Amino acid sequence: MDVIKTQGVTKVYNPDKIPVYALNGVDINIEQGEFTAIVGPSGSGKTTLLNIIGGLDRPSDGEVFVGGQDISQLSDNQLIDFRKEYIGFVFQAYNLIPVLTAKENVEFVMLLQKRSKEERDQRVKELMDSVGLSDKLDSRPAQLSGGQQQRVAVARALAPKPTFILADEPTANLDSKSTENLLDIMARLNKEENMTFVFSTHDQRVIDRARRVVTLVDGKISHDERRD
């Protein structure tokens, strides 16, 4: 089953002056349970494609379907609600809220979803156990290493039980050991929970783990390799 489908997705900047095509007619289908890396040189459109799939940006042309819903037709408020329910994000810069503890960061989206305290507590415990940080519930981001912060970010992305996770250069600020730990966790979640992961990355370690590698060049898909 396709969880993500794009048809003719194009993103043009400066359309009225000198147009710059960040994406130019991208068609891609991503199925449930895939572990996909989107790769390519800087400026190839990787992050733009992830942002459009995730509803953080809108295409200039084309359609984006998530679970059969054409999100390019949603209003800004509808998109916010849609992201909150269906899409988990992991960013290069972690994006944890500094004044909140790890537990509070992980449960934040569930608060917005109005989940019960009992459900939130249970879910946070499960997730912090799964990322190996059950002893860091009360730690704030400044008290955690970069690798630990990114693992909290993964737990936060998983908390609302999204349809898929979008990870934009998630290992860029991590050392080799932290990267391997993070990728081990993501690969386990992918295998055991059939969680779909889509990465934008330059990192060969991520590319080596991916079971599908989609290469973008000048805003177009130049190669699509499946390794299943």
DSSP string, the chain: -EEEEEEEEEEEESTTSS-EEEEEEEEEEEETT-EEEEE-STTSSHHHHHHHHTTSS--SEEEEEETTEEGGGS-HHHHHHHHHHHEEEE-TT----TTS-HHHHHHHHHHHTT--HHHHHHHHHHHHHHTT-TT-TT--GGGS-HHHHHHHHHHHHHTT--SEEEEESTTTT--HHHHHHHHHHHHHHHHHH--EEEEE---HHHHHH-SEEEEEETTEEEEEEE--
d(CA 125, CA 119): 10
What is the per-residue pLDDT across 75-132, written as a single tens digit (0 to 9) for each? Answer: 999 999 899 889 999 988 888 999 999 999 999 988 888 889 999 999 999 999 888 8
Count of residues making up the chain? 228
> Where does the pLDDT of residue 204 fall: very low under 50, low under 70, confident under 90, or very high at 90 and above?
very high
Average pLDDT over residues 217-225: 95
Residue corresponding to tokens 């960040």:
22
The more confidently predicted of residues 222 and 175 is 222
For the chain, the domain total comes to 1
Q: What is the CATH number of the domain that holds 17?
A: 3.40.50.300
Average pLDDT over residues 8-27: 91
d(CA 99, CA 94): 14
What is the per-residue pLDDT across 127-169, written as a single tens digit (0 to 9) for each? Answer: 998 888 999 999 999 999 999 998 999 999 989 889 999 999 9
d(CA 149, CA 97): 11
Q: Is the pLDDT of residue 200 over 90?
A: yes
Structural domain span for residue 157: 2-226
For residue 210, the model assigns a pLDDT of 95
Which amino acid, residue 141? P
Average pLDDT over residues 209-221: 95
- Cβ-contact 156, 106 below 8 angstroms: yes
Burial code of 159-181, b = ≥16 C-beta within 10 A, e = fewer? bbebebbbbbbbbeebeeebbeb
For residue 72, the model assigns a pLDDT of 86
d(CA 8, CA 118): 44
Q: Which two tokens stand for residue 122?
A: 């249970």
For residue 227, the model assigns a pLDDT of 85
What is the per-residue pLDDT across 29-75, written as a single tens digit (0 to 9) for each? Answer: 999 999 999 999 988 999 999 999 999 999 999 999 998 899 988 99
Q: Is the pLDDT of residue 228 over 80?
A: no
Phi, psi dihedrals of residue 174, rounded to the nearest 5°? -110, 150
